[in-house]
Amino acid sequence: MKKVLTILVVLTVIAGFAFADAVNINTVKLSTTVAGIEPVFAIKHDNTNETIKTVGSIAEGNVVAAFEINQVNPIVNNSLVGYSNYGISAGTAVSLTVTCAEFTDGVTTSANVPTISAATYGATVTDKLTYGDAPVNGSNTAIFVPTYHGKRVDNQLIGSFTATWAQDNTLPVGTYTADITLAYTAN
């Protein structure tokens, strides 16, 4: 009987060690952060990066120029394309305001205010980017409102617009320029 009790005690101790090992769990938690990267935007004329373009004479006829608004974030971490990672899942809107000024030589300014015809790249809602409604057309200002949903958005076309300056044959001889500006803020 002593041998049977000894064997039972030994088996109970061994079983206790076996169950004790099964209960002890060692856990390591990995943590990672996805950094927010605000989008950067730029205007391109005829899909080029040139900042000065020569157009036909406003004294001879209307001046018409086409532009694109692109997200142009710099390349990050050797990525093949730049990208933004901005907003929250419910959406964070960015207001992009384009303004086209009159032609001026610094002394004389054309009385003809340009008009804009604008369109967004697409109205499709995705889980990354919503392009928003087409801007109101006809004035010299257009506002684009894309919405970012907190996920990676590769650099891409956001919208386009065409500006038209009506002929002005009253301007004196000279070289005239018109500024096209893009201002943007997160809402």
Q: Write the pLDDT tens digit of every residue in 38-75.
A: 999 999 987 666 677 788 899 999 999 999 999 999 88
For residue 23, being part of any structural domain is answered with no
* Parent domain of 127: 41-186
In a domain, 6, yes or no: no
pTM over cut 0.85:
no
Residue 27 belongs to a domain: no
DSSP-derived pairing of the beta strands 141-144 and 63-71: unpaired
- 96-133 pLDDT, tens digit per residue, is 999 999 999 999 999 999 999 988 886 666 789 999 88
Residue 133 in domain: yes
Residue 95 inside a domain? The answer is yes
In this structure, is residue 13 part of a structural domain? Answer: no
What percent of the chain is predicted at pLDDT more than 70? 83
Looking at the domain assignment, is residue 46 inside a domain?
A: yes
Residue 4 domain flag: no
Return the HEC string of the chain: CHHHHHHHHHHHHHHHHHHHHHHCCCCCCCCCCCCCECCCEEEEECCECCCCCCCCCCCCCCEEEEEEEEECCCCCCCCCCCEEEEEEEEEEEEEEEEEECCCECCCCECCCCCEEEEEECCCCECCCEECCCCCCCCCCEEEECCEEEEEEEECCEEEEEEEEECCCCCCCCCCCECCEEEEEEEC
How many domains are there within the chain? 1
Q: What is the pLDDT of residues 4-24, one digit of tens each?
A: 556 655 555 565 555 555 678
